[in-house]
Amino acid sequence: MKETENIFLTLINQHKAIIHKISKMYMNGVEEQRDLFQEIVLQLWKAYPTFKGNSKFTTWMYRVSLNTALIYFKKDNRKVDKTPLDENIDVIDVNENEGKEEKLVYLYTAVQELNVIEKALIFLFLENQSHREIAENLGISEVNARVKLNRTKEKLQFIIKKNGYEF
């Protein structure tokens, strides 16, 4: 049991950025993001015995994490708070281009106006997932993933323009 636990914790540590990004996509406040992060890790641990290695660990992790976020979001009937994100959420790298941090805040704020499926689509797109991988992770056809993603990107562009954000 201890060996399984160590392998799991190693994999989670290697890929925890995925969980952080999903948490930021679905929850606005820092505390809510932490709660969702913990819930995702718990569900990954519960589901870990079912991981057979037929796909990459990250593919399995995306699917479990996104399903957990969707259920968590719906179960608690959480309403999206349209207040600006706390600008101290991301660690600022002094070597980053000026304005990159501000653009990330704009993006995450705009994403809060999307529905839960659209958030998943944008997240997977930002993770450089192919249309096939997006379809696989969301349990839809590749054509459906392509169409939904294009519509969601257009909607996100509209939201960004509507809110007066500049990129």
**pLDDT tens-place string over residues 36-86:** 999 999 999 999 999 988 888 998 999 899 889 888 876 655 444 444 444
pTM of the complete model: 0.64
pLDDT digits (tens, 9 = 90+) for 91-135: 444 444 556 777 777 888 888 899 988 999 998 998 888 999 999
| Whole-number pLDDT of residue 164 | 81
Nearest CA to 36 out of 46, 24, 18 is that of: 24
Q: Which amino acid is at 91?
A: V
Q: Taking a C-beta distance cutoff of 8 angstroms, is the pair 85, 108 a contact? A: yes
Cα 36 from chain centre? 11
